[in-house]
């Protein structure tokens, strides 16, 4: 379940929240049944809090939005994509400890 700092993304709000966003967006592609997705969820929540005001964070359930996952080449989950100006600029696949995830996000935001 997403906190107030993490947006629940869907096909209905994708364009507004990701493609048209004026700030960078981290999208966590996940599924309820995915063990590594559950493991990274608290890390994503911490990232949302740490980067508040610099990075929008959203979660997209691939089971409910498989066409969006396919559009961005998501082959395994969890996959996290950093978007800038509506385009993916960083792809992070699999569970990442917070320090490594933050380093990759920082690189994408630079």
Catalytic residue check, 6 = no
Catalytic residue among 37, 47, 55, 77: 37
Cα separation, 100 vs 55, in Å, equals 17
The C-alpha R_g of the chain, in whole angstroms, comes to 12
Q: Is 93 exposed, middle or buried (0-12, 13-18, 19+ CB in 10 A)?
A: middle
Catalytic residue check, 89 = no
Catalytic residue among 18, 27, 34, 92: 34
Q: In what order do the strands lie in the sheet with 56-61?
A: 6-9, 56-61, 25-30, 79-84, 87-93
Annotated active-site positions, please? 34, 37
């Amino acid at each position: 379940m997403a906190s107030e700092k993490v947006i629940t993304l869907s096909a209905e709000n994708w364009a507004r929240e990701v493609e048209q966003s004026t700030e960078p967006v981290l999208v966590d592609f996940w599924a309820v049944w995915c063990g590594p997705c559950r493991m990274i969820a608290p890390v994503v929540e911490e990232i949302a809090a740490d980067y508040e005001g610099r990075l929008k964070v959203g979660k997209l359930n691939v089971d409910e939005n498989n066409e969006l996952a396919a559009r961005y080449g998501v082959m395994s989950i969890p996959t996290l994509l950093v978007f800038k100006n509506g385009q993916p600029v960083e792809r992070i696949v699999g569970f990442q400890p917070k320090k490594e995830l933050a380093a990759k996000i920082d690189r994408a935001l630079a």
